[in-house]
Amino acid sequence: MAPSRPSTERSDLLLHAYLDGELDVSTTVELERTIASDPALANKANNVIALQKVLREKVPREQLPPYLKSRIEAALGKQRARSRPSWMLMAASVVAAIALSSMTTRVLLQAPPTSTPLANELIDGHMRSLAASQPTDVVSSDRHVVKPWFNGKILQSPRVVDLAKDEFPLVGGRIDVVNKVAVPTLVYSRRRHIISLTAVALAHGETVPVSTRPANGFNMVSWSNGDTTYWAISDLNENELNSFAKLFQNAP
């Protein structure tokens, strides 16, 4: 018997890839030829095949113990609660109370599915502000006070217009969180009604015409001017909220 050639490191590596079915066709053919002519390599192949088989058959599968499953579920539950800001929990409880009035079901069915999460977050912000002792973080009817207040707190300082002569006096401003982004919200009033006006920067410069819809017992008006979408939310009636939106849009 002719002494077998010492197998090269290359054919040794390829042997494993061959046995794992990871080789392309031409290399497979080449290696099969090498194995046929090299008893040492053939012997290695047999050893590897035997090892793979015994590992597959004898090493027991890991089962996930039931106690671990419940431990992880508990840890994830805690994590979810932690990642939600407390005011959202508060808003959620207000939503839950309102849901009893069957209004929510109707609104969820009416609202276009894509805009629902954003609208809900805005409503949450509006309701939180109503539940708080002050609906605003900065209280001023002077737009030259409100606008600079946003500077340094958020990236975009909103357009602030004075609508006092139209009987929509400015009350102040606050910062809401929409989609994990801090956004400016201006607060106006009409008689005893509060209007939250949130400005959300748009990624794509589309223009959306004014649209109105009821949501959770509030009225909501939104429009867009190309780079910013405005959302006005209030328990004010639809007509007055619409005229507020038009006044704001047309203000110099």
Among 2, 6, 100, 113, which residue interacts with other proteins (rule: CB under 8 A)?
Answer: 6
Instruction: Give 39 or 226: the residue with its C-beta nearer to other proteins.
Output: 39
- Nearest alpha carbon to residue 235 among 248, 220, 249, 213: 220
Among 2, 9, 192, 250, which residue interacts with other proteins (rule: CB under 8 A)?
Answer: 9
Interface characters, 70-89, with other proteins (x: CB under 8 A): -xx--xx--xx--xx-----
Task: Give, in order, the Cα–Cα distances in Å from 104 to each of 110, 214, 217.
Answer: 10, 10, 8
Cα–Cα distance, 92 to 125 (Å, whole number): 10
What is the token pair recorded at 170? 């400015």
Is residue 46 close enough to count as binding other proteins by CB under 8 A? yes
List b or e across 192-224, with b for residues whose CB sees 16 or more CB atoms inside 10 angstroms: eebbbbbbbeeeeeeeeeeeebebbebbbbbbb
Instruction: Give 60 or 152: the residue with its C-beta nearer to other proteins.
Output: 60
3-state secondary structure 105-137: HHHHHHCCCCCHHHHHHHHHHHHHHHHCCCCCC
Among 51, 131, 201, 208, which residue interacts with other proteins (rule: CB under 8 A)?
Answer: 51
Strand partners, 204: none
Binding part of the chain for other proteins, among 26-34, 44-52, 124-132, 191-199 by CB under 8 A, reads 44-52
Among 25, 61, 86, 102, which residue interacts with other proteins (rule: CB under 8 A)?
Answer: 61
Is residue 246 close enough to count as binding other proteins by CB under 8 A? no
Closest contact distance (angstroms) between CB of 119 and other proteins is 13
Using an 8 Å Cβ cutoff, are 193 and 234 in contact? yes
Is residue 69 close enough to count as binding other proteins by CB under 8 A? yes
Closest contact distance (angstroms) between CB of 98 and other proteins is 19
Site for other proteins in 164-223 (CB under 8 A): 179-180
Closest contact distance (angstroms) between CB of 163 and other proteins is 32
Among 2, 24, 60, 112, which residue interacts with other proteins (rule: CB under 8 A)?
Answer: 60
Is residue 100 close enough to count as binding other proteins by CB under 8 A? no
Cα–Cα distance, 199 to 121 (Å, whole number): 13
Residue 57 zone, left/alpha/beta (φ > 0; ψ -120 to 50; rest): alpha
Instruction: Give 39 or 217: the residue with its C-beta nearer to other proteins.
Output: 39
Strand partners, 186: 173, 197
* DSSP category for residue 154: B
Interface contacts to other proteins, rule CB under 8 A: 4, 6-7, 9, 12-13, 15-17, 20, 22, 39-44, 46-56, 58-64, 68-69, 71-72, 75-76, 79-80, 83-84, 117, 121, 179-180
